[in-house]
Structure 1
């Protein structure tokens, strides 16, 4: 079909009212192009990539939209609805009859595609239509339609990230104002700090100060997360000309935490991002004229968007405006126990909660568990999935909660399945599974081979433990559960009942010479969020997994790297060398400490761990252990049969790197 005709058909189909249509009101396809020059991806055949924009309308009077904060205060169209639009991309089989009927919606992280983690050997810098970009193309070979959709308002303009354009509450004659908070941990000298959140190389938009001279504007500095704040004299600091950053006479001091509370205006209706994700999949499922008619919809989100999906479930966005189930499956990856700033006035979706930055935002807030729990301190009672546990609940999506070891140290993951005081296990719904990939750092493996030492000892920055193999198997299991009704593997995660979860002080780890051990995990607190900055109350209890004699985590999915270990894979990394907080954790990163190669090396170092020589004897004997471990994981359905060769190659390369 010619491109112009495709656009015309899409617009024409959407122009007519449809009882089955979700609140997608218009779609514009700006570009349509073949993937990999039209090459076939197994039985699914050739794929094409669509790039475009999708337009939404939300009804403030609809009971399934009323939870969107400030929706009723946003401008309305002639039909009394509130409008928004998003950028999207779509990968779909060129012949729809050859697809699986499953659409995987990538809830993009800070505007960026995340489902590439399921493709081995992908070249992320290649053209998004090239074969190299998709590597082994697992998703395409299995016939999935893959949609990426912008949902986050605070993405900087420019090519690359997916953008979302929500409405603003209020009107020029009656602007809404309120206090906004921005904090930053300064690790290197700087004269300017942005009001928007920064994560690595990702800089978010911030609300501009509405009045630089407002008496509410305050800059404070402190030495630690809960240390007393000192007010910086107003004459010493200034808003930049565009009012989106702050400068300080003499510069900001490394090692300090700075926090700006200031008055802003015109809050974005942030919760429409949740509704847009809901309505995109509902449109694909229920409108036969959609761009990719879909039988089953699955959402994938990682880190920020794993928390987004927990928030999505908590606030009931799994049901569309007509009361129908939106997603049939949800894969919430590395969310820990968190939700986020996704649906309140002046919410900043990029804000999170990290071990030594971004403090006291509404990320880790009660309730945490799917099933009902009571906070013994406040007496509050609630559940993440309160609607799903009622007797008259509508059909619920099948949900995978998947974390790594890092999430216990850096994202308070134990709260997702224990009581707030850490005294008892709390289970999950029959439609849910929880999986923990032992010792894995956050979201994806570090570089291999590692390229930077941690301090001057035997430890390396970044853990190369490759959780992707487990993630691929789990995604296939979720698709089969949703599509075919095949039960997935039982949940695998550390519990109190199995004595696999404990306070850090009770953890027994090998004392490796030259390796400092983490002793302070990320700590969430009970917060009074009614004011800025919030009042900090008592801490929640955080527990971490028990470890084996090498220091590797127990109680979850033990990958080939742990079953045939050549190293200790710590899921955390210390802030060594930083101007402050050296006993705290680097965000997201792990640490790998190779075992001593020989008994002589072990004795010379005083390393309590056994040597590779003693454990395996030879490279061939070691690789036989790797292959046996891979076969076991395949049998347990935590590795795809096709990935056993990749595991063998990766561990052979690991042997060569360590034994070089």
Structure 2
């Protein structure tokens, strides 16, 4: 391992963070050497095909960036690794309520300063080997394998006026062997479960639309330029339709090296005595965080045994996968790590979900196979798995803590699972007014970032002092808070004008024809007509979730907050929209409630005045503090956000 320091920059204008003092940002590159003969690297698909040096090792390099106390002796001797969603830095955004940035230097990038006040050394190490440069993303350069061909797949949702798509979004795509010819098929379908209709070859090509030079008086010239990284349809893609391209690609990347990169980088920072190690002697514990894609990366990292370094030592003491649902990653041949996990409509067939789904050992009733994500007690870390309500609707979240037939599954003593009731997948900590898009309702506005801070403190106390964190809080069959769809629908209130999702029977999982990390057939076929049992959180009379942690906005609501939102007409009407939830406001007054026939009590009847609402938020926040699910410092933040009926997130017109 060799670290190349490229730049050292002051953070937040030299701001002092309590006893920790000032921070600095180090930008550098870490050079890796991996032994393909080491059995700990065996899970990496195609590693044996990568070129080696004279010592038999495979070399590659990636960005390593560290935000640390200028004086390490004033830090807390804790390394906090942010997996970096698609190369983007996320932990400051979600733990500090900071403005998002991939070059965090300004005071607004410190947010409320939580991680700095605690004294963490924050590390961003590149792990995703198929990213393109841009926007300051951290990048990993892994070997390609020239001469190897196989099937690749990409999906495009048609948009009005769009006739060219890249084969990947800021991703290094796998080009077809030739611009024209070769094996390639384009199909389209209205809904994911509809039969595919093939688009004739004459109607599309590998190419891109470009506007050329020309005088305005004569109009501008345009051309269709051949491109091995774009698909073009002169007549345009049908708006809202799912278009799927399957083609023969060449030169796959050895994507599984991303897991080895995280393992080796964190181990080196913890243990290397080399002067080049920026954290030498300053790491007693290591924790990690990933959300969505990188939450899945954490689960895959654990499943394949990468939390043991090449010397057999534990890498991370504790990990926090968030909104990963029941998924992991496909790092096999011609995988695309940027593609979102399979949803109800978008990327429905992405192989993001594969048994085992749970940290606990269980048996797949379809295959008879028994397995678990955690199965190496000597090196497995403590795990705090959190998920929004969206994961139950879109990401098969119940399978994290249930059997494949839907029964409650006890988790290992080293695991806690927390359902954040009635919240949506993204839950932007700095959201203003809710967005409106090609979906039926305003998006979900529930704020949950205060839960991150409390859980990190709980994880540190668990790893350091053995103090157990709060018990798991998730929907369970045994107490009636986990339901099948029909039972859920029977309980949800009949809100005037609100359409409900249809049966999620489309949540069946697929046999993707993957053997030894290689996709052998596309499109996928159903594994079994019955599939796996996926459960949903039960709701109260307002339609808000039970069976989990209720953030203050859910405990003292101004609306029904759902994890689902329906796609609008011409955009796949009736199907669920991406990871978007809904905010369905309560009637403001009793007069409005009676006029509309709304079964939910009005805002007026619940709180009386704006001050009454603020008092209810304060009480719910204090209750979470008593349960160690929120920090005392966040109570005044919640109270301040509740002023004027929680505007601008809510529009209350009393």
TM over 0.5: yes
Which shifted more, 543-552 or 498-507?
A: 498-507
Runs of 4+ in 1 over 6 A off after TM superposition: none
Structure 1 partner of 2:550: 558
State the 1:380 CA deviation: 2.6
Instruction: Establish whether residue 334 from structure 1 lines up as the match of residue 326 from structure 2.
Output: no
Structure 2 partner of 1:350: 338
From 272, 275, 295, give the equivalent of 1:306: 295
Report the Cα distance in structure 1 between the residues aligned to 2:103 and 2:54, rounded to whole angstroms. 42
Structure 1 partner of 2:517: none
Structure 2 partner of 1:498: 479
Q: Is the 8 A contact 2:102 2:135 kept in 1?
A: no
Structure 2 unaligned segments of length 5 or more: list them.
Answer: 208-225, 514-519
Provide Cα deviations, 1:349-388, integer angstroms capped at 9, x if missing partner. Answer: 1122122111322201111112222222232322222x23
Structure 2 partner of 1:54: 30
Structure 2 partner of 1:532: 522
Which shifted more, 134-143 or 348-357?
A: 348-357
Instruction: Establish whether residue 413 from structure 1 lines up as the match of residue 397 from structure 2.
Output: yes
State the 1:493 CA deviation: 0.7
Q: Is the 8 A contact 1:445 1:463 kept in 2?
A: no
- Cα 1:224–1:537 change in 2 (3 A) is farther
Provide Cα deviations, 1:140-190, integer angstroms capped at 9, x if missing partner. Answer: 100000011221122222341111101123x5xxx1111111122224342
Q: Is the 8 A contact 2:323 2:387 kept in 1?
A: yes
Structure 2 partner of 1:220: 187
Q: Is the 8 A contact 1:447 1:464 kept in 2?
A: no
From 456, 466, 485, give the equivalent of 1:485: 466
Structure 2 partner of 1:257: 242
Report the Cα distance in structure 1 between the residues aligned to 2:148 and 2:94, rounded to whole angstroms. 43
Structure 1 partner of 2:540: 548
Secondary structure in structure 2 of the residue aligned to 1:461: coil
From 588, 591, 594, give the equivalent of 1:603: 594
- Cα 1:177–1:478 change in 2 (3 A) is same
How many residue pairs were aligned? Answer: 617
Q: Is the 8 A contact 2:82 2:290 kept in 1?
A: yes
Report the Cα distance in structure 1 between the residues aligned to 2:253 and 2:80, rounded to whole angstroms. 28
State the 1:618 CA deviation: 2.3
1:3-42 correspondence runs (5 A): 25-42=1-18
From 378, 382, 388, give the equivalent of 1:404: 388
Structure 2 partner of 1:631: 622
1:262-273 correspondence runs (5 A): 262-273=247-258
Report the Cα distance in structure 2 between the residues aligned to 1:100 and 1:373, rounded to whole angstroms. 38
Q: Is the 8 A contact 2:508 2:526 kept in 1?
A: no
Structure 2 partner of 1:107: 83
Q: Is the 8 A contact 2:434 2:444 kept in 1?
A: no
Report the Cα distance in structure 1 between the residues aligned to 2:103 and 2:256, rounded to whole angstroms. 33
Report the Cα distance in structure 2 between the residues aligned to 1:455 and 1:337, rounded to whole angstroms. 27
Provide Cα deviations, 1:205-251, integer angstroms capped at 9, x if missing partner. Answer: 31111134555221122222122222222233211223111122422
Instruction: Establish whether residue 379 from structure 1 lines up as the match of residue 371 from structure 2.
Output: no
Structure 1 unaligned segments of length 5 or more: list them.
Answer: 1-24
Secondary structure in structure 1 of the residue aligned to 2:308: coil
Task: State the Cα RMSD in Å.
Answer: 2.0
Structure 2 partner of 1:19: none
Instruction: Establish whether residue 361 from structure 1 lines up as the match of residue 342 from structure 2.
Output: no
Report the Cα distance in structure 1 between the residues aligned to 2:465 and 2:651, rounded to whole angstroms. 43
Instruction: Establish whether residue 323 from structure 1 lines up as the match of residue 290 from structure 2.
Output: no
State the 1:125 CA deviation: 5.8
Structure 2 partner of 1:71: 47
Report the Cα distance in structure 2 between the residues aligned to 1:646 and 1:126, rounded to whole angstroms. 26
Instruction: Establish whether residue 523 from structure 1 lines up as the match of residue 507 from structure 2.
Output: yes
State the 1:452 CA deviation: 4.6
Secondary structure in structure 2 of the residue aligned to 1:32: strand
Q: TM-score, normalised by structure 2?
A: 0.91
Q: Is the 8 A contact 1:126 1:132 kept in 2?
A: no
- Cα 1:122–1:323 change in 2 (3 A) is same
Structure 2 partner of 1:280: 265
From 265, 274, 295, give the equivalent of 2:284: 295
